[in-house]
Chains A and B, each alone.
Chain A
Amino acid sequence: MIDKALLDRHGLTEDEYRLIVELIGKEPNLTELGIFSVMWSEHCGYKSSRVHLKKLPTEGEHVIQGPGENAGVLDIGGGQVVVFKIESHNHPSYIEPYQGAATGVGGILRDIFTMGARPIAVMDSLRFGPPDDPRNRSVMEGVVSGISGYGNAFGVPTVGGEVYFDPCYNLNPLVNVFCLGLADKDKVFYARAEGAGNKVLYVGAKTGRDGIHGATMASAEFGKETEHKRPNVQVGDPFKEKLLLEACLEVMDRGLIVGIQDMGAAGLTCSTTEMAAKGGMGIVIDLDKVPQREAGMTPYEILLSESQERMLLVATPEKVEAVQTVFAKWDLDAPVIGEVIEGGRARISFKGEVVVDIPVDAVVNLCPAYDRPIAAPAPPPPAPALEALPQPADLGETLLRLLASPSIADKEWVFRQYDHMVQVNTVFLPGADAAVLRIKGSRRALAMTLDGNALYTRLDPRTGARIAVAEACRNLACVGARPIGVTNCLNFGNPEKPEVMGQFEQAVTGLAEACRTFGIPVTGGNVSFYNDTEGLSIHPTPVLGIVGLIGDVRKAVRPGFRAAGDAVVLVGESLDELGGTQYLKTIHGLEAGSPPLIDLEQEKRNQEFVLEAIEAGLVRSAHDLSEGGLAVALAECAFHSPRKIGCEVDLANGLRDDALLFGESQSRILMTCRPADLSGLLETAAARGVPAQAIGRTGGAALAVRHAGREILRVPVEKAFRAWKDSLPGFFRVQA
């Protein structure tokens, strides 16, 4: 009955099947096979990544909960914790952009509130094919409206994120959602089914046939037939999710439940077996009691459905009625569908018959881990020697082209579709280096950033990953926040290709090195493999979500110039390097060379210097240098200033003009200060071993740069602003 074809359809190998038989001591029936299929999928079981993820540091002074739960938990003092995590919804978002992205938001929100935290902010990292292709625009419109439709209605602010474009995402967009929640330290809940005799309650939406095998789908390459996979994508209902949030937080707040788990990937199967395994218990479930949206569903379908907005709760028998009363207040049913038992088995019955009887430990904890073959990533195409690269005749025109390139251009077209202010905590609107959220009733604030540069990781996965951590921390430093924890989303191709596994291994090594240097723990995250469509893998794309803490929100600093006449200071060293830059890519059509050098110790010193200067109240504005280098950073500081103040920069450092303006040397921050504070700041920098130089003054209506006495750039701010501002909307303008 169970043959190779059936195993293939379930994404299981023959070896894995033999292991299942050995672990459960019998041939599984079809329903049991389905359970193993989803729980041992790459998406749920992390079977290709686990051996490498062990390298990441997971401990630190703030850590209350590291990897292994629905989300990480960090102590932020004052009796409060933050609960945060990132999830990918790449595959569903390609098949059905609106619902794929919407349910991506819904899923991560549940991960956060299932732990007792109210989600207070979301950020998204989005990657699409270039917007000049109407198919990419259509995917992008769908994804953005899906995020907007779900997050806005639920009432969580989407406070920022990143949007990049590259042809490698043509058929495989990336949608990574990072969510942060806030909870009282003594009210954090875990996914544990404890206490034999305790009742298992099902709450939320009814179970339907949507999303069956979503996790398995996300664990295979896509071919041309993906159109047919549309029924595998779930449909989101943010209104129901909002009701679920309020009801769940209310029963938690009143101490009415023992444990709780959301039904995400692998639905009822995952939540029941995981809760039992984590509690060291068994569980009995009667599928006839599960609320169903349609008639005639089989046990296989009920167990594997990924219908959204559902939760599993465990409560002591005497509290069941009180729990049900709370859910009734929010117009939600909360039927008892089972019980916690001794013995570590999941026994599931349907129409009076036991249809599943397996040890939960085998399903949850014994998924095989593979140390897959690794091949060294192909060396990047060498960058042409700088001497061989022609310099553009008009560097002002080059700047305008860079500012208008979709990856650098203004993203307001995206952000204004998101409610970024609901919950009245958003201190910095999208566009700042990091989002800043006040904590009501306190002077402290939280900062969040989401970052990754896939061009760097494509050229050198290890260096690229180190830079991703360094840059995310730099973003936090620029607003005045110290990093306290990391969540990562690792988007890669097919792990069965040794070269992809090589990229993964190198990237994780780089992440681990950088996180150790910065002393920040990784408290969880997500791995998304099989980002391949029609045989093409995406660039390796690690995305880092980092949470930071600000001691006094009134000292937080924005990127925009504050006033004319301030001194402009460049922190960090500029090198003659152009590998992996947006300049090479956009202007010369080259994705080549080595990414910029990164010295993590120097980076840390530079950031610490800026942080201390901000905390001392000496910094008027700060902005990190990233894609597009110094020239783009100067332009962005002008765009973000209230009256679009320009600047006059004058420096001499012996670099080529294009490397000076558009090079992406790391560890650099552009800040401004009052002229009176300048010499003190520079002295402190020198004493700390931090390269810093005064490079000019803010003021005027132009972006002007003189290099060794020659004017190499002069562009009116307004002209640059329009190039940057009008680019993205231009792609979406409705043709009359």
Chain B
Amino acid sequence: MKFGVVQFPGSNCDFDTFHVLRDVMKRPTVMLWHKDHDLQGVDCVVLPGGFSYGDYLRSGAIARFSPLMQEVKAFARRGGRLLGICNGFQILLELGLLPGAMLRNKNLKFLCQHVHIRVENARTDFTRAARKGQILRVPIAHFDGNYFAPPRVLRDLETNGQVVFRYCDADGNVTPEANVNGSLDSIAGIRNAAGNVLGLMPHPERASEALLGSEDGRTIFESLILSLEKRTPAGRPAAGKKARHDR
């Protein structure tokens, strides 16, 4: 399988994501230039973190107009796996591929720190290597990560199992203190109804090497590789297969 990392002007986690996918996960990975119209036959598109176009307007609001986004939208409609990390998540919201919007963090400051997130749904292409309820220690680094959506949307997200990650404390309790940016329902990551698009604010690529303090983020990339290479996770034979088309 092949990963593609989209490079917008102002992306700054593009090389990090590329490094982890190619050098740590050992999968063929290419950079996709935002002005092109070519996805180079990749199996999974990653929108990386950063400050696309400086984020001087709303985060991600300009990036959604990049030429390559036409292809990315079509790719997602066809069921292609699409992962948005941090600024990538914000762009997915602006593209309308995921519901909701981001507000400034509740303390009105940029926040860079390790947080804990709980896997709320392990039956997705992005989490099948994890257990439901598993706690991951992953860093965040954002100014606008305070997830907002109207009550009806929140209800649908909940009912359809689209809330994939929630901020929690080290023991897995979802508390107001652990919800550092103030997201509604402590939401850290969601997927679309079809299950092939995921956005999350934490940076799994910064938690993929033991030397840097945590490897918990790898589980997301491992899950994608399992899904796309049509393998099942070791020790969990049947569950994975069904999860692939879990709606």
Contacts and interface: CB of A to CB of B under 8 A. Distances in A.
Given A148-B110, A239-B56, A419 B141 contact: yes
Contact of B110 (A331, A417, A421, A427): A417
Nearest to B109: A417
A330 B12 CA distance: 14
Nearest to B17: A424
10 contacts: A148-B110, A155-B12, A239-B9, A240-B54, A416-B112, A421-B112, A421-B141, A421-B206, A427-B212, A427-B213
Contact of B112 (A149, A155, A418): A418
B134 to A, nearest CB: 20
Contact of A424 (B9, B16, B54, B110): B16
Given A238-B51, A429-B213, A438-B211, A419 B9 contact: no
B68 to A, nearest CB: 14
Contacts of A153: 10, 12, 51, 54-55
Interface string B192-214: 00000000000101100101110
Contacts of A154: 12
Contacts, number: 88
Given A154-B12, A417-B110, A422 B51 contact: no
A149 B19 CA distance: 25
Interface string B8-41: 0110110110011001000000000001000000
B19 A440 contact: yes
Nearest to A423: B16
Size bin of chain B's contact surface:
20 to 34
Contact of B206 (A152, A240, A424, A553): A424
A243 interface: yes
Q: Which 7 A-B pairs have the closest CB atoms?
A: A155-B12, A239-B54, A153-B51, A424-B16, A419-B141, A419-B112, A417-B110
A553 B205 CA distance: 20
Given A153-B10, A153-B51, A153-B55, A416 B19 contact: no
Contacts of B10: 153, 239, 242-243
Contacts of B19: 424, 440
Interface of A: 145, 148-149, 152-155, 237-240, 242-243, 329-331, 415-424, 426-427, 429, 438, 440, 553-554
Most A-side CB within 10 Å, residue of B19, B49, B112 = B112
A213 to B, nearest CB: 28
Contacts of A418: 110, 112
Interface string B202-246: 010110010111000000000000000000000000000000000
Nearest to B15: A423
Contacts of A438: 211-212
Contacts of B15: 423
B112 A238 contact: no
A554 B209 CA distance: 13
A429 B112 CA distance: 11
A417 B112 contact: yes
Nearest to A152: B110
Nearest to B49: A422
Contacts of B56: 239
B212 A416 contact: no
A281 B69 CA distance: 48
Given A243-B9, A331-B9, A424 B209 contact: yes
Nearest to B51: A153
Nearest to A240: B54
A416 B113 contact: yes
Given A237-B54, A238-B51, A426-B212, A421 B203 contact: yes
B229 to A, nearest CB: 24
A145 B110 CA distance: 8
A422 B9 contact: no
A239 B212 CA distance: 27
Contacts of A424: 16, 19-20, 205-206, 209, 212
Given A242-B9, A421-B139, A416 B111 contact: yes
Interface in B135-183: 139, 141, 143
A331 B67 CA distance: 14
